[in-house]
Structure 1
């Protein structure tokens, strides 16, 4: 019987067609396979070199904290190993680790600012604090001359202390345009300047100011805290601008695993007090 196209299909061409169909489906199936969100089975997490309880400890491999738990939870859900980079000595340096491609995420009580948002991606906030001031009592009395501080604070023209490389160093010029801004290497040196009266006000989030009063009640003798209720400081995860998929995954994690929870100052202070007693 001569071999024809009809007999080829009848005698075994069906198998050939199946094989061809399987071969044709393979590229599509490969495209549908999930791609890894991060490479090398590692999640590179930039976190400050210093400690900030209850967010993160001094040693990234040590005890937990709000940010440590968040970082490890993200790595677990991604199925990769968290690798902590603790080389950044300022908050701005965390951002630089992302823009240089040396980190996938920056997690470390990182404030959102428009300036930083020009170079990195942000998750949605997982904590929302108010901005605050720590005032030297003697200097404040001289400045206010008996008036409520709230009436004069926005026109403040004295010496305002901020931490170099922090979001508040960025906020200061816009919030207090008449003030003389003094920049310090760290929070402890800002506190010392308030104690000895070399600056009038210190500018930071209200959580850190309230935490200071918990740690050192004697500060209430020389200083007073002021909360700027109309100014917020939103804390979020910084994400490499080269990885929008990772940014979307962090948002998804915060929504599904964290139940869209946004911590406030009172909740964080309560956690800090509990940790201090442990």
Structure 2
């Protein structure tokens, strides 16, 4: 079909009408988007594990103090909504699932960033950065090392390595220690008991939790040794549902403006934990 001047004029007129219609609707759409609340129903649904991880968050129903609870209340207040906590999750992975499925708007609970989790939720920028660490049964470690410095045998470690089921370290372990026999236990307490009695050789977690253990129970230094992996970090952030980019951007803005881009480290968190223990 030949293209005539009339055809071009008609096409141009149609395009102009479409552009005008789009332009006319844009202000209304912008106003609607601007008035739409970031959190629906005037509440912010927050997933947090049922167990305690002081000084980040206490056990379910035991109080409102903690780094993560303060963050949650602060973000909700800045949004002008009420925080509603779901403390039904048994593992860290469970709070990720609650967010990715839309049951919760955010997950706050000493949540480590991993690439696997990043496929289903949006992470904020980190508000805490820890080192990864190990705690080893001293006798087992001496047997495995056979006189070598422990640092030389760590990377090729092939013994029993304890991790918490549903934690980021259960994910990290398979790549960081590919030769190890990974033992997934339901809780940190069970892992520490296994370290004490020597049924597992080492356990893998962030260095804050390992140092906190030594603060709570100095007798652990008799049976166990801690090792910090200086080249491995564990970044802690807030998880946001993937279909709410405005909320994700607001959380980052809150961390920037209200918290001054503060990123807590292990020493600062340990100091807060010691202070809370004395209170």
Same fold (TM over 0.5): yes
Residue correspondence of structure 1 range 61-210 to structure 2 within 5 A: 62-210=63-211
How far apart are 1:100 and its partner, in Å?
1.3
For 1:26 and 1:61, locate their aligned partners in 2 and report how far apart those are by CA, in whole Å: 48
- Residue segments in structure 1 that go unaligned for 5+ positions in a row: 1-23
Quick one: structure 1 residues 29 and 198, their matched pair in 2 at CA, closer, same or farther if it must change by over 3 Å? closer
For residues 225-275 of structure 1, the C-alpha deviation after alignment (integer angstroms, 9 at most, x for no partner) is 000000000000000011111000000000000000000000000000000
How far apart are 1:61 and its partner, in Å?
7.0
Task: Supply the RMSD in Å over aligned alpha carbons.
Answer: 1.7
How far apart are 1:87 and its partner, in Å?
0.4
- Residue segments in structure 2 that go unaligned for 5+ positions in a row: 1-24
Partner of 1:57: 58
Partner of 2:14: none
How far apart are 1:63 and its partner, in Å?
2.9
Aligned pairs, how many? 256
Partner of 2:242: 241
Partner of 1:252: 253
Contact 1:45-1:82 within 8 A present in 2 as well: yes
Partner of 1:219: 220
Quick one: structure 1 residues 28 and 143, their matched pair in 2 at CA, closer, same or farther if it must change by over 3 Å? closer
Partner of 1:270: 271
How far apart are 1:25 and its partner, in Å?
11
How far apart are 1:32 and its partner, in Å?
6.8
How far apart are 1:33 and its partner, in Å?
3.8
Point out the more displaced range, 201-210 or 54-63.
54-63
Partner of 1:42: 43
Quick one: structure 1 residues 42 and 147, their matched pair in 2 at CA, closer, same or farther if it must change by over 3 Å? same
Contact 1:60-1:68 within 8 A present in 2 as well: no
Contact 1:123-1:250 within 8 A present in 2 as well: yes
For 1:110 and 1:131, locate their aligned partners in 2 and report how far apart those are by CA, in whole Å: 14
How far apart are 1:27 and its partner, in Å?
3.7
Quick one: structure 1 residues 138 and 112, their matched pair in 2 at CA, closer, same or farther if it must change by over 3 Å? same
TM-score (norm 2): 0.89
For 2:30 and 2:197, locate their aligned partners in 1 and report how far apart those are by CA, in whole Å: 69
For 1:265 and 1:207, locate their aligned partners in 2 and report how far apart those are by CA, in whole Å: 5
Quick one: structure 1 residues 220 and 209, their matched pair in 2 at CA, closer, same or farther if it must change by over 3 Å? same
Quick one: structure 1 residues 117 and 266, their matched pair in 2 at CA, closer, same or farther if it must change by over 3 Å? same
For 1:128 and 1:59, locate their aligned partners in 2 and report how far apart those are by CA, in whole Å: 25
Contact 1:60-1:84 within 8 A present in 2 as well: no
Quick one: structure 1 residues 220 and 41, their matched pair in 2 at CA, closer, same or farther if it must change by over 3 Å? same
Contact 1:162-1:183 within 8 A present in 2 as well: yes
